[in-house]
Chains A and B, each alone.
Chain A
Amino acid sequence: MPGSVQSLERAAAILRAIAGSGGQMGVTELAGVVGLAKTTTHGLLRTLLSLGFVEQDADSGRYRLGTGLLDLGSHYLDANELRSRASNWCDSLAARSGCSVRLGTLAGLQVVVVHHVFRPDDSAQELEVGAALPAHATALGKVLLAFRPAASRPPADPRLERSTAATMVDPAKLAAELKAVRGRGWAVQREERVPGEGGLAAPVHGAGGLVVAALGVTAPVPEVLGSAGAVRPALLEMVLEAAAAVSRELVRS
């Protein structure tokens, strides 16, 4: 199998062996079943333990499957539940930043707006809950694309539609942008969907650690970017804090 990663195969063999036993297994027993040295097996188990994929019995020291595995498959987060849990923090972000706030999830190459809080200036605004926005042209979408489990690949559909002159329609350029987003943990959008408008967004993590949503602000460009075109640090900090608070809220249950 060219390109396969040996330690991943070994870890999978350990998980299968524990699952097959229907209960708990000791490290010596496991090493025998998967055909590895005891020290190697032990090292792999420590990593699986830290990820929550296995748990260790406090008395016997034996290993069983961890609840982290359940989170991978069965933890589907309902969009309405997500809105309900995030609501207080979205309000707080809008009130502090003075910007409108959106919480979104990914559907293909679009961001579905799960929650929307108006810009707190009491101007006429339309509620956008349920709207679908082009992912590559929004900060929310860039975060969601960047943190997809398959994010190393460029988007499946390379026909990226242009909204403004600044929209990233070149797949190679977008891939580089997504890599940068993944590296720094937030995304910015400069007039890429609507002229004159900028956006900032950060990832929201679910109970299993995966990114389940993105939370971000939208405002006229000067409120998002400083004179040199750099992201305003105070605003960025508020967005990161709010996204972290929602993530904590999701894990707390």
Chain B
Amino acid sequence: MTERYVLAVDQGTTSTRAIVFDRGGRLVAVRQREHRQFFPRPGWVEHDPEEIWANTQLTAAQVLRDVAGRPGRVVALGIANQRETTVVWERATGRPVLRALVWQDTRTGPLVEELSARPDAAIVRERAGMEIAGYFAGPRLRWVLDAVPRARERAEQGELLFGTMESWLIWNLTGGPDGGVHVTDVTNASRTLLMDVRTCAWDPDLLDFFGVPAAMLPEIRPSIGVLGTATALPVPVPIGGALGDQQAALFGQTCFSPGEAKCTYGTGSFLLQNTGTELVHSAHGLISTVAYQLAGEPAHYALEGSIAVTGALVQWLRDGLGLIGSAPEVETLARTVDDNGGCYIVPAFSGLLAPHWQGEARGLVAGLTSYVTKGHLARAVLEATGWQTRDVVRAMDADSGLHLSALRVDGGMTTNNLLMQFLADVLDTPVVRPMVGETVSLGAGYAAGLAVGMWSDTGALRGNWHRSAQWSPRPQRAAELDAEYAAWERAVRLSIAWGDRHFR
């Protein structure tokens, strides 16, 4: 039998990556390309969908060329994407009506406030499984429909299409204006506030509530199952699956059983815990979301703790303050000192997500004295990621009643040993990194491979998971950090108070 490979595209917040994996889930080749970030006003974050589409084609073609000389063939394409980022485009031309509104964009704040105040607002939490927040795609779509002249009318007539990033890419990959397939996967649809999280179908009452015409919505499909053929690639391959990036990472970490959890450390960080085929409503500020769905099977659900700013705080230290030349150098700078010097940074750049959901909170540096150096700031930057993880882990323990026996981690920040040890200490839990750090891409690859029979079932994937590193909590340090947690919580309360217009 000749070797078979899967191609995964991870369309992320800062870059698009194309990776080829073999049957052992091992990385064979990788290509990456960054795209531009547009900040037209404070709080606005945009991407150019056409640039992202071009980068997808380019990196996919490059990586296919990289493996062209090997015996065997690429049998399927899987897509993982930045979630909640909203694209609206013309069906006839494929031209976006605006740049994409990125998940970090906070322009829908006033709209969300207005929608939340409506007497029928409770329907959103009840049906969609989440509170109304500017973080999700639905309010962004509504904003576009309000902002672009004649948009609603054109959408009703079927001239405009809506999609999150995977919809946009699949439509283009399968032909674009020339017969492109307009679909979304159930995990991405669960992030719009427009889908009934139990039936996994667009909910007419929610569409009504947000004022969104059904004609512009993609068809909701299972995450794992053939969606069409990517004819736009040099070698046409079936598109075997699509998942939101965090759900893809959960899948790539083979967290298939209830209670299994992972946290991905990137621009933001996202802790997801599989809750099985039962939807668990959070009482502690977490999101109930769809984890994945195999074609012909019921959906699996997850509890999610979303943290908006973790790696982005390191980027700010690099680009905003110029204290380091590259992101990994934060560890070098942090190791010039032994502790945080009493300094805490709450990176509420665009509010706080889980478990606080305070859109108006703003960032702060607390505990400044003349003793504090840039080394201490670097420590505080890394520790902010650890403290925020503790906030969501505590909420998850309370909601699910399952204490984590170990935290599976992945993402770019997991090469930071200082941070990983801090996490183990602050959570008082072993932190484990899998052999494939690229779990987002791996999850998309697994989805695609399962759909075309490259793997028989999810059980076959578990054998591919291996530990590459482990950090164990040190009891004395864990006790110290437990005592210090109150200081972090105080800093969080201050950042929430700072953003409150009525605070005096």
Contact = CB atoms under 8 A, between A and B. Distances in A.
Interface stretch (B8-16, B194-202, B463-471, B480-488): B463-471
Given A87-B415, A92-B27, A81 B468 contact: no
Interface string A108-119: 000000011110
Contacts of B468: 91, 94, 117-118, 120
A81 B469 contact: no
Nearest to A93: B26
Interface string B460-504: 000000111111000000000000000000000000000000000
Given A78-B326, A80-B328, A127-B471, A88 B466 contact: no
Nearest to B324: A78
B180 interface: no
Interface centre among B27, B416, B466, B470 (most CB of A within 10 A): B466
Contacts of B25: 95
Interface residues of B, number: 28
A80 B27 contact: no
B328 A84 contact: yes
Interface in A100-152: 115-118, 120-122, 125, 127, 129-130
A38 interface: no
A83 interface: yes
A94 B435 contact: yes
B329 interface: yes
B329 A81 contact: yes
A95 B329 contact: no
Interface in A37-90: 78-81, 83-84, 87-88
A96 interface: yes
A118 B326 CA distance: 26
Nearest to A120: B466
Interface string B308-328: 000000000000000001111
B412 interface: yes
A95 B436 CA distance: 8
A218 B26 CA distance: 19
Interface in B324-378: 325-332
A95 B435 contact: yes
Contacts of A80: 328-332, 415-416
Contacts of A125: 470
A122 B438 CA distance: 19
Given A80-B416, A95-B26, A88 B328 contact: no
Contacts of B305: none
Contact of B27 (A91, A122, A130): A91
B93 interface: no
Contacts of B327: 84
B437 interface: yes
B437 A91 contact: yes
Contacts of A117: 435, 468-469
B470 A127 contact: yes
A79 to B, nearest CB: 7
B24 A118 contact: no
Contacts of A127: 417, 469-471
A118 B416 CA distance: 16
B24 A83 contact: no
B329 A118 contact: no
Contacts of B415: 80, 83-84, 87, 115
B6 interface: no
A95 B466 contact: yes
Contact of A122 (B28, B329, B467): B467
B74 interface: no
Given A78-B332, A80-B328, A88 B437 contact: yes
Nearest to A123: B467
A95 B24 contact: yes
A87 B467 contact: no
Given A84-B412, A88-B27, A118 B328 contact: no
Contacts of A87: 415, 437
B30 A83 contact: no
Contacts of A130: 417
Contacts of A121: 466
A92 B24 CA distance: 11
A92 B28 CA distance: 8
A223 to B, nearest CB: 16
A129 B420 CA distance: 12
A91 B332 contact: no
Interface in B425-455: 435-438
A92 B435 CA distance: 8
A120 B325 CA distance: 33
A30 to B, nearest CB: 35
A75 to B, nearest CB: 11
Contact of A88 (B30, B416, B417): B30
A83 B26 contact: no
Given A92-B27, A120-B435, A120-B466, 19 more contacts: A78-B325, A79-B332, A80-B328, A80-B330, A81-B326, A84-B328, A87-B437, A88-B437, A88-B438, A91-B27, A92-B26, A94-B435, A94-B468, A96-B26, A116-B469, A118-B435, A122-B466, A127-B417, A127-B469
7 contacts: A78-B325, A78-B326, A80-B415, A87-B437, A91-B436, A95-B436, A127-B469
7 tightest Cβ-Cβ pairs between the two chains A and B? A120-B466, A84-B328, A80-B328, A80-B331, A81-B328, A95-B26, A84-B415
